[in-house]
């Protein structure tokens, strides 16, 4: 009788595969996972069809040749969170854990364990006695980051000034630099001329 009860308890877990239904989109596999969409949320499945990242609304879609969907590169996927009306970018791993907190004004997918991001700096330049608050200036640099979010190199030496209000109204600033090989980045200057920079 005891064996019969144990068998009855195990039946729901044996031989019944996980079924995902009513999906709006299924991407091709990339980096061992595929993005799936239901409504306005995305998740990821592994090559066994197991849902490894549940549906969520903070995954950033990447434009590919045929469609737009979130992707993993080097075990990292872009996420974006609003803070004070401004969108900040970060990354999760394949367990769905945040490995680089959203802190960049824009960021690319990883490529050979490196990504390009817009790192923002907030500088207090004074104090407003009337409103009883600091007067701050925001500026950002294009940087190369590693898989932990640590800055490996500054691509732009001059700070680009930005107002949080402008970001709210116009969206994320554009990244102008781009990887052209595993260790080479093409950096666009203010004169619209390019330079090539080696990243070790």
**Strand, helix or coil at 3?**
helix
Closest C-alpha to 103, from 134, 80, 84: 80
Q: What is the mean pLDDT of residues 34-52?
A: 97
- The candidate with the shortest Cα–Cα distance to 137, out of 169, 112, 166, 171, is 166
List the structure tokens of 89.
């970018």
- Rounded-to-integer distance, Cα 46 and Cα 137, Å: 44
**65 band by pLDDT with thresholds 50, 70 and 90:** confident
Least confident of 36-45, 60-69, 125-134: 125-134
- Residue 7 is given by DSSP the state H
| Coil, helix or strand at residue 154 | strand
Position 166 pLDDT exceeds 80: no
Tokens 């005891």 — which residue? 2
List the chain domain ranges.
20-71, 108-200
Model pTM score: 0.82
β-strands 98-107, 184-188: how paired? unpaired
């Amino acid at each position: 009788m005891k064996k019969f009860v144990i068998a009855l308890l195990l039946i729901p877990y044996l031989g019944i595969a996980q079924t995902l239904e009513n999906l709006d989109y299924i991407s091709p596999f990339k980096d061992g996972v595929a993005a799936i969409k239901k409504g306005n949320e995305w998740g990821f499945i592994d090559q066994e069809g197991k849902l490894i990242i549940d549906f969520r609304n903070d995954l950033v879609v990447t434009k590919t040749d045929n469609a737009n969907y979130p992707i993993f590169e080097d075990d990292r996927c872009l996420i974006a969170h609003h803070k004070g009306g401004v969108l900040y970018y970060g990354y999760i791993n394949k367990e769905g854990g945040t490995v680089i907190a959203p802190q960049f004004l824009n960021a690319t997918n990883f490529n050979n364990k490196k990504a390009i991001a817009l790192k923002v700096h907030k500088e207090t330049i004074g104090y407003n006695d009337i409103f009883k608050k600091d007067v701050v200036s925001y500026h950002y640099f294009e940087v190369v980051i590693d898989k932990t979010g640590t800055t490996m190199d500054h691509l732009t030496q001059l700070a680009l000034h930005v107002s949080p209000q402008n970001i709210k109204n116009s969206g994320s600033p554009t990244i102008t630099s781009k990887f052209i090989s595993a260790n080479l980045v093409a950096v666009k200057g203010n004169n619209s001329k390019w330079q090539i920079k080696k990243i070790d």
